[in-house]
Chains A and B, each alone.
Chain A
Amino acid sequence: MIEAIKNWKLHILVLIFVIIAEWIGAFSFPIGPGTVVLLPMLYALIMGILSGPKFLRLASQKDMVDAGSLVGVTLMLLMAKYGTTVGPNIPMILRTSPALILQEFGNLGTVIIGVPVAVYLGLKRETIGAAHSIAREPNVALIGDIYGLDTPEGRGVMGVYICGTVFGTIFFGLMATFAAALGIFHPLALAMASGVGSASMMTASVGALSAMFPDMADKIQALGAASNMLTGLDGVYMSLWMALPMTEWLYRKFYRLKYGTQPSQTAAGEA
């Protein structure tokens, strides 16, 4: 990490991106019944991606590796800020705790719509890894432990993991604004749902929501952070005890629906 700290070119590049992004500022436009908000963090992310050797060539391979080694530490300040947001809101969080705890089961929504789509698209055992969760680090570790990462299940979970790493923040930021713009869901419900077990995805969603509903911003951030902590605690057990068995079961059902035969348990390879 000492190498990355001394990489002043990287820090100056980030400083320039931050100044440009903040200078542009939040940009909102009406869509349907609501408003979609684009935030400086989104511009900074895109500028960062575009700075790589494939595009603008501002950042070298070394800069990318250095940046990657720093991301974990950069999240610390945000986590401290989340803590200070949760503290003053503890009474509200305790009051809403039944919703906070039960919405954790909503994470099984990945299985319910993920498995049919994956089987329909022709994925075989990859489905198990890909659809059982949103494939953050603990889920990857779990699949690696049970099936191995060199298996179809492992390829499935790694595929979603990589997609989440690359597009996750953009996707969650936009999804939150669209879901809020629909006007059917309350911002606090959306805030609770934002805690999916990834600090960056949660932040993208919570950031977009707090820009859309500034008068509820601190409540939104506190609930998002609390829900994310909860998912961090229960995520692996939820996957192991509920999501994986459900995924296996639904996979067999939809496999038979599509191919007319039972999937062979061992035969993995294809595609």
Chain B
Amino acid sequence: MKTMEVLAVLIIIGAITLVGNLVGANIPMIDAIPGMIFLIAISIIGVICAKVIPVKIPAVAYVVTIGCIVTIPGFPGATIFNAWAQKVNFLALTTPILAYAGISIGKDLGMLKKTGWRILIVSCIVFIGTYIGSTIIAQLILKLIGEI
């Protein structure tokens, strides 16, 4: 995965997101551009970190970590960074991702047929199991520490 190729993809996705951000969240493109450039910059720095640092950590981990550190209250520029990022709506970012994912899922539909209905039911059950299991514990502990 070449860094320049990643940058090209990020710019394409960024542009599509800005359109969605305008249509869905009513945020003018001109207002959201600094935030988008900021997010692209974080992503690219993360990708470069994963390349340069010899420890085997995936790029997404660096990306999240960098995004987190530069917006922690008190970090130089955190207030501005945070204000930029807020202009890019979270849901607007998800729409193009799922459009690409949806198109790519088409090729897995054949495999799905071979899987069988019993596995499909078990899949639904395990999704519910992990979700409800975690929710119940989280709810109890949050109550216990008085957060909710």
Contacts and interface: CB of A to CB of B under 8 A. Distances in A.
Interface of A: 1-2, 4-5, 10-11, 13-15, 17-19, 21-23, 25-26, 39-42, 44-49, 51-54, 59, 61, 63-65, 67-68, 70-71, 73-88, 90-91, 95-96, 98-100, 102-114, 117-118, 121-123, 126-127, 130-131, 133-135, 156, 158-160, 162-169, 171-172, 175-176, 179, 185-186, 188-190, 192-194, 196, 199-201, 203, 205, 207, 210-211, 217, 221, 225, 227, 229, 232
A234 B82 CA distance: 29
Given A40-B24, A117-B125, A79 B5 contact: no
Contacts of B85: 81, 84-85
Interface in B1-32: 1-2, 5-6, 8-10, 12-14, 16-17, 19-20, 23-24
Contacts of A52: 103, 105-107, 109
Nearest to B12: A11
- Chain B contact residues: helix, strand, loop or mixed: helix
B48 interface: no
A10 B12 CA distance: 11
Nearest to A122: B118
B24 to A, nearest CB: 3
Contact of A166 (B97, B112, B127): B112
Nearest to B100: A67
B58 to A, nearest CB: 9
A47 B127 contact: no
Contacts, number: 408
Size bin of chain B's contact surface: 35 or more
Interface in B96-120: 96-109, 111-112, 115-116, 118-120
A212 to B, nearest CB: 12
Contacts of B118: 118, 121-123
A114 B125 contact: yes
A179 B147 contact: no
Given A114-B129, A179-B135, A98 B145 contact: yes
A82 B106 CA distance: 28
B121 interface: yes
B104 A64 contact: yes
Contacts of A22: 20, 23-24, 92, 95
Contact of B142 (A80, A96, A131): A96
A74 B13 contact: yes
A175 B67 contact: no
Contacts of A54: 106, 109
Contact of A45 (B24, B98, B132): B98
Which of A18, A19, A46, A135 has most chain B Cβ within 10 Å? A18
B52 interface: no
14 contacts: A1-B5, A14-B103, A41-B98, A64-B103, A67-B101, A77-B43, A77-B93, A80-B42, A81-B85, A81-B88, A95-B145, A112-B129, A165-B108, A232-B61
